[in-house]
Structure 1
């Protein structure tokens, strides 16, 4: 759908520029388009057509000639807007420009502009000759859509890449043979360390212009020690890369959403380290021209039914392997001992990983002859010698040799990092696990990177290659005592708990009530500069945090396991990762029961019940909250009893049982007032206000929600106060105080933006749309509903279907042309 507001702003800027008025609007537009058209030929062509189209006829000529010119201008502007709409960030940029430089406005009831011939014109116009009076164009304000950057996530191409000309040409040929009416799948298979990721990154990196909507990267962890990534988490990651901040709970729904979101895009996904055809198939888009490039140690022949092309990647030939080794060690040094170079390369069996590690070891010892490296590599295969069957029997020797020349502190960090459940880690995590200062850890990480034992993973994080990680863990088993190994992992988990608790204290201070116990307290305690930084940290470390939960459960550190789940509450609440939310609380509940802690059990039941209810699993949510209610009554804990009643009420309400819901909320309110829990009482009034809104009892809802908003503000709970404000605004509008209601709703929008809550932003946009619809402003209602739907589409079927129904309820004649 073409955004009329943008079209009118483009027309206004074009005509004003032609007659020498308002040059700032056209200059700003030119700068914006210059940054958007570089990688989008179709957008560049549409912009060129509008920029070069003459406007003299529209400004000076009367009659058919002027009308024709104006129509052409409008068509050019509409096409530019339509092309930009295919790429979210481009349309977002145009919308922000249009908000800053809107077209002049007109009110039909106060402005009467007369053109020659007696014509009356209301709305955006292009002057054909003389106009008497000012020109004014009014548009309903529309919330700007969140900015969506084009994802460019490919790993950096290696500067040592060599010897793969045949492989690159083979991938080119597979790409040329694609069916243009469908997305393409290519599989690059081969043994560990053969260079699949490097080849795929180099080949895709040279094709940026072919995929204007982005190039995504995801590692499925087929060779990771903890097993492959959860398919729901992978789909969630990919959806967020295209701006979908909330994902459906059901895996099939999430896969369907992925296909819907990407259907009109042209992009590539590099799926690294896949384990099976099934997990790749789940990620296939329905987007003609797009590409899924998978790498795997398996052949994945099952993808043949999906039309996949296959390329098995072998080891480097001797010439290419020698060139790779020479680049790492230096040509002058290699030229002094050509025979030894050939022997070392032969011992590496053409495996790029082994060659790079060998050259890195030699580069770190500038006085060591190549022959001494050859002698070291022939000293035995070790535990990784099993790779000999795959043609890489000396990787163990290469890794042992590289490890053997590390400084003692770097070797210790290498071993201990190999024990951690986290696949990627940053300096702070490494420092905590190894009991180092951050500056010490940073220096030692640099040593490991230089030795090619660690590789940058982007965003200040690092990772092991799978074989190197295995080697590091094996060296820890042989070189570290059992207590030292346990302490390393425990330090990591305690650091996750301490830092997550610090984030929780900022983002959900009212939730931070249960104890925290540490074997290794963080010194100094982690701190954040503000809520944005805390939420960003949770998002960036979500995989490491969930891995720490699982590790604590495996180690039977029961208190740590449930405490970490409890500390991650703001992550679950804000990011709405339903699969992870529920699975983590199942682990936390089991740990709380094993520890015999009733308060912890109650917290896990109520927090987990909220996750189940939010995922649409209402019957399970009722069971969890009922268990929490029984437990609270057994313990005589009135506050926990009220929490369980409130959860039951919300579950009954979501299932459509409004009478039961009201009974639960009223019981919770009485208990919370009795124990002096003021914030809880305010939340109960908020729930009761929502129920009154569902019954269109706007007067009752207004009273309850006004009080709830005031009390939550007094309790310093900005997130829930914003929820109450939004609902209060909608109640005011329904009660006849339309302007007051809209003002409250727009204030709530700003508060949800500040709090990082896309779900409630969508709820508020929907409420504004309903107000506009009641006002008879179908155009504004449609825009607001569409903005809400873009967010709700990722939240599950219920909210999205509701908004889709509202859009269908608008009269067809109200739709823009």
Structure 2
């Protein structure tokens, strides 16, 4: 693993010790009179992203509810920005709001956001930080803070003035929804829940209660699903089925699916089945939930045995959604077998098909499937799924960051199917798409104290953290991984978690914690007599001190790391450390020393065939030479840029373009400088707010000059 691999970002002015400030500063003794400052507002670091359209697929047989739709429309005309739609389970809250928001989508041009808060089960309820991270990444191309309070502040700032429609589905408490409210009076938030959530009244919410469907509307829904002729053959039985479903749309839909699967079965047979006492429908009047359970029981009973087994197993998974490969892993099935059984579950209305090989349970159906589990199915399904995620993520890691993939997988299993990617871009796309599932499986594995599996999964997810930089997930995962490695007694994994986690802490500007983690890794390596790992921790300590502007404190750590690595024969490490020493020399204006360090680092890294880090050293070498007036520097910068473009290293593309712009500006070629900065700006916003602000300031300086 290459600690400090991502190099240095922008820094504040150093006042003294570790203090840092940004913007206009007055440092003086006594002040008499007024002080007037004139500071231009900072340039926004965010580049436009496509307006999100996240609402779930519309319900096909949506029926009636025109009165409720009109009521919601009246609330909107009063410029109400927060609406709570509540009602009992299965009454159709989500379908109603989804339908309404789709109708009025043109009124909210900045997009539609959706989050399932999973409030049906307090133990599984979504945390505000989980949803905030997802929302921010939908609207914002920069890095997301790790701290929930910082996420909430960024969310309010980012959404100020925007016109968004947001559906917060299945909330359990007002406190769960409150941090997700945007910072704009022009946006609309609709919260659904089984509870009234009256606490949101202090936030200006108005409340709409959704009742069950009237009998005629429920019969219309049944007719649309199973056919009017079939209902007309026995209208009394149809009315009885609707009555036993208690007017709940979910129950009617599930009962309809059962009938549709049996075209020759009369409605009377279903009415009699629903009315049996042993189906627990004797308690039908209690909030209507028994109707849903009874209807689901009936649908479950008629599933083929393999589909019923997969239904139970998938209900045990903690993942927000799933795909055919995850289903195959959970059920120990081939991919073809899983595809066929998923089709059965979708046709039975027990699983939602979201398209593009993505599926999701309705919350009540997930609970039903989980309750049907027998024996050890819960842990078996989770363990097989976790094993598959470790194997797939390890494959991605070996494609994207092979230098990181050094820890053995002693307990590694290779369950089918194989990972669905064969190259770096495909592997990174897969990690991004599955990040929520990976984290859900990681948390569940940690809860069960599957220690080896837990730290292995964190280690395998390294490319996700390094390339996409979800700082909140990065830090949480490594906290879990560190505890797991210690529990497993795996000293090398413990040091890996400390080093990898410290990089995330440093990138999230939690530098004091990063130093603590690096120091713990150094001490553990010394105790184990592992000089290579000790050097890794020392490199990290040097890098984090440099990145916080403590240049003189950084050098001894780096020199000690080089000495250790030269003794044990680890040239790649010495190349990385010399790159940071070169950065320090260049920051101090010692260009001759910087060139010497970068030349040495480049030669070493090329010799060990580390193309990425060699290109980093080459870029810095080019910049140092350009600052010294050597024309060769610009060509070296262009060569480095070409390497980063071919590998898809967006952060280093931005950094190199910025260095090209600086070098052109130094040479007086302002048009070339402007072109380089303009190319760097949209790239830098995807990685670092500080970098984006710095590049924006460079562009502004050209306009002003």
Tell me the equivalent position of 1:97: none
The answer for the alignment partner of 1:166 in structure 2 is: 67
Q: Measured at CA, do residues 792 and 310 of structure 1 come closer, stay the same or move farther in structure 2, by a change above 3 Å?
A: farther
- What are the within-5 Å matches in structure 2 for residues 469-480 of structure 1? 469-476=366-373, 480=374
Shift of 1:314: 1.8
Per-residue CA distance 1:60-98 (angstroms, 9 max, x = gap): xxxxxxxxxxxxxxxxxxxxxxxxx99x9xxxxxxxxxx
Candidates 481, 485, 492, aligned match of 2:375: 481
The structure 1 residue matched to 2:564, chosen from 668, 671, 677, is: 671
2:105 matched residue in structure 1:
208
Is 1:492 the counterpart of 2:391? The answer is no
Q: CA deviation at 1:333?
A: 1.0
Give 2:12's aligned residue. Answer: none
* Match among 441, 451, 454 for residue 561 of structure 1: 454
Deviation track 1:282-331 (CA, whole Å, cap 9, x = no partner) reads 23333453322322223233333333333222221111111111111111
| Rounded Cα–Cα distance in structure 2 between residues aligned with 1:187 and 1:743 | 60
Residue deviations 1:692-743 (CA, integer Å, cap 9, x gap): 2221223322332244344434434344334334333322322223x54444
Q: Residue 291 in 1 paired to residue 185 in 2?
A: no
Show the 5 A alignment for 1:62-81: none
Q: 1:611 to 1:423 in 2, by over 3 A?
A: same
Please say if residues 381 and 397 of structure 1, whose CA atoms lie closer than 8 Å, have aligned partners that are also in contact: no
SS in 2 for 1:509: coil
Structure 1, unaligned runs of 5 or more? 1-84, 89-144
| 2:52 is equivalent to residue 151 of structure 1 | yes
Q: Distance in 1 between matches of 2:533 and 2:269?
A: 69
2:659 is equivalent to residue 767 of structure 1: yes
Does 2:521 correspond to 1:624? no
Residue 431 of structure 1: aligned partner: 328
Aligned mates of 1:669, 1:688 — CA distance in 2: 10
State how 1:39-118 maps to structure 2 within 5 Å: none
Match of 1:116 in 2: none
Residue correspondence of structure 1 range 171-186 to structure 2 within 5 A: 171-178=72-79, 184-186=81-83
Change (3 A) 1:392 1:596: closer
TM superposition score normalised by structure 2: 0.87
- Provide the C-alpha distance between the structure 1 equivalents of 2:83 and 2:671, rounded to a whole number of angstroms: 45
The offset of 1:559, in angstroms, is 0.9
- Residues 528-554 of structure 1: per-residue CA shift (max 9 Å, x gap): 221011001101111111112122222
Question: In the alignment, which residue of structure 2 is the partner of 1:7?
Answer: none
The answer to whether structure 1 residue 308 and structure 2 residue 205 are counterparts is yes
Q: Is the 8 A contact 1:154 1:201 kept in 2?
A: yes
Q: Give how far 1:801 is off.
A: 5.8
1:589 corresponding residue in structure 2: 482
Secondary structure in structure 1 of the residue aligned to 2:463 = helix
CA shift digits 1:554-599 (9 cap, x unpaired): 2222111111111111111111111211111111111111111111
Residue of structure 1 aligned with 2:168, choices 271, 274, 286: 271
Specify the SS of the correspondent of 1:551.
helix
Q: Determine the structure 1 residue equivalent to 2:10.
A: none
Contact map agreement 2:391 2:412 (CA 8 A) in 1 = no
Match 2:265 to one of 349, 364, 368: 368
Q: Report deviation, 1:759.
A: 3.7
Counterpart CA distance in 1 for 2:202 and 2:411 is 52
* Cα distance change of structure 1 residues 661 and 402 upon mapping to structure 2, 3 Å threshold: same
Ranked by relative contact order (alpha carbons within 8 Å, sequence separation 6 or more), the top structure is 2
Q: 2:504 aligned with 1:611, yes or no? A: yes
Structure exhibiting the larger radius of gyration computed from Cα positions:
1
Report whether the alignment pairs 1:652 with 2:652: no
Q: Deviation digits for residues 774-811 of structure 1, max 9, x if unmatched?
A: 34566776776677566656766654665566567x38
**Structure 1 residue 750: deviation in Å?**
5.1
Contact 1:248 1:794 in 2 (8 A): no
* 2:156 corresponds to: 259
1:194 and 2:91 aligned: yes
Which secondary structure does the structure 1 equivalent of 2:520 belong to? helix
Q: Of the candidates 256, 262, 284, which is equivalent to residue 359 of structure 1?
A: 256
Residue of 460, 463, 467 corresponding to 1:570: 463
Distance in 1 between residues matched to 2:502 and 2:424, nearest whole Å: 25
Q: 1:246 to 1:383 in 2, by over 3 A?
A: farther
Q: Deviations over 1:430-488 (max 9, x none)?
A: 00110100011001000000101000234321111111111111111xxx322x44322
Cα RMSD (Å): 2.8
The whole-number CA distance in structure 1 between the counterparts of 2:155 and 2:496 is 33
8 Å Cα contact 1:379/1:397 also seen in 2: no
> 538, 547, 551: which is aligned to 2:444?
551
Aligned length: 662
